[in-house]
């Protein structure tokens, strides 16, 4: 299914227009026969908000023509008296493109910011495509380079036109044999959420050791406006955790939040990576500690496990 999404950032002088069109839309616009195996072509336009719509449409038409094989060339055989010659004839296809507001074709002298709006339609040939405006979107960070049993994972995400607390996050641990299949689903935007856990965090259990982790997110604004699902998979499998940690004994003293009228403060010393990730630190200061345990990718899991369970009202470092 074809789609058009427009991003209009307040402090950006340009509109960012993302188009995903089926090849059959292009073929019908060029008066060519459609195919049974329709695929997608994608474009991104970055146009000045104050520019006339005509310039944006001309650029889009040029891009579509290029995708339609750079002014598709037909080879035509001609018979002469002496020899058989082959010449190339350029087919200059004109793809009709319009924007409609409330069923009326928009004048192309209108500026882009007033043309590409919520509820408008982009018409390519005979196909009408609803323009999605400032749809919530998300970009997920990579999952950590170390994932430990018993230590919580939290999503790293950059969102536009929503807030992270409105988004839906899904987690799943899966076997290594399925990693290629899931990566293919991600590339084809067909991720299957069956068997996932919807949560803002995920703590791998003992039966997840050796498995990989999928994180998927559906960006959402309110209860009705949803964006495109994004997903990432871990590059490493879940490894066995450290077992019982000394700070878990202290957790028994903080099983609930402090009473009304009082508060609990948690302070801690965080060994900065700039100190731990040096040859001098590994060979002399912390020679008793395996090098992999000095990396922040390992230590941050233990820090999160300790801090989150403290149930304190205020944290400082």
Domain boundaries, the chain: 3-73+87-133, 137-233, 247-316
Q: What pLDDT, on the 0 to 100 scale, is given for residue 273?
A: 74
Phi–psi pair at 106, nearest 5 degrees:
-80, 140
In this prediction, residue 75 has a pLDDT band, given cuts at 50, 70 and 90, of very low
Smallest CA-to-CA distance from 95 within 72, 121, 119 is with: 72
> Which has the minimum average pLDDT: 15-24, 50-59, 148-157, 233-242?
15-24
- Beta strand pairing call for 230-233 and 168-174: unpaired
Q: Quote the pTM value.
A: 0.77
The stretch 72-94 carries a mean pLDDT of: 47
In this prediction, residue 304 has a pLDDT band, given cuts at 50, 70 and 90, of confident
Q: What pLDDT, on the 0 to 100 scale, is given for residue 121?
A: 97
The token pair that represents 137 in the structure block: 């979107």
Q: Is the predicted pLDDT of residue 233 greater than 80, yes or no?
A: yes
SS3 of residue 121 by DSSP: strand
The stretch 100-111 carries a mean pLDDT of: 97
The stretch 82-89 carries a mean pLDDT of: 43
Q: Is the predicted pLDDT of residue 314 greater than 60, yes or no?
A: no
The stretch 61-86 carries a mean pLDDT of: 59
CA dist list (Å): 154 to 151, 252, 300, 301, 309:
10, 23, 11, 10, 14
| Averaged pLDDT of the chain | 85
Q: What pLDDT, on the 0 to 100 scale, is given for residue 78?
A: 47
Q: What pLDDT, on the 0 to 100 scale, is given for residue 274?
A: 75
Residue 180 makes CB contacts below 8 A (sequence gap 6+) with: none
Q: Is the predicted pLDDT of residue 26 greater than 70, yes or no?
A: no
Q: What pLDDT, on the 0 to 100 scale, is given for residue 89?
A: 38
CB atoms within 10 A of CB 124: 22
Nearest-angstrom CA–CA distance, 66 and 71: 6
């Amino acid at each position: 299914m074809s789609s058009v999404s427009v991003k209009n950032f307040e402090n950006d002088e340009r509109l960012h227009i993302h188009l995903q069109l089926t090849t059959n839309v292009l073929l019908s616009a060029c008066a060519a026969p459609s195919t049974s195996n329709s695929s997608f072509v994608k474009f991104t336009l970055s146009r000045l908000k104050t520019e006339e719509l005509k310039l944006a449409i001309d650029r889009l038409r040029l891009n579509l023509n290029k995708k339609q094989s750079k002014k598709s060339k037909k080879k035509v055989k001609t018979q002469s008296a002496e020899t058989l010659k082959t010449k190339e004839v350029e087919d200059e296809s004109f793809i009709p493109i319009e924007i409609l507001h409330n069923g009326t074709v928009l004048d192309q002298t209108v500026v882009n910011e007033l043309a590409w709006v919520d509820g408008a339609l982009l018409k390519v040939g005979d196909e009408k495509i609803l323009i999605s405006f400032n749809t919530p979107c998300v970009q997920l960070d990579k999952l950590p380079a170390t994932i430990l049993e018993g230590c919580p994972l939290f999503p790293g995400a950059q969102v536009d036109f929503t807030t992270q607390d409105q988004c839906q996050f899904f987690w799943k641990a899966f076997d290594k044999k399925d990693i290629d299949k899931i990566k293919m689903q991600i590339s084809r935007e067909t991720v299957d959420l069956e068997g996932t856990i919807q949560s803002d965090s995920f703590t791998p259990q003992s039966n997840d050791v050796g498995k990989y982790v999928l994180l998927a997110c559906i960006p959402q604004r309110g209860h009705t406006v949803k964006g495109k699902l994004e997903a990432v998979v871990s590059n490493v499998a879940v490894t066995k955790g450290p077992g019982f940690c000394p700070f878990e004994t202290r957790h028994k003293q903080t099983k609930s939040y402090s009473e009304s009228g009082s508060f609990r403060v948690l302070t801690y010393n965080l060994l900065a990576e700039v100190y731990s990730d040096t040859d001098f630190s590994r060979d002399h200061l912390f020679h008793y500690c395996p090098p992999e345990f000095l990396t922040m990718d390992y230590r941050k899991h233990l820090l999160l496990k300790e801090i989150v369970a403290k149930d304190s009202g205020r944290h400082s470092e």
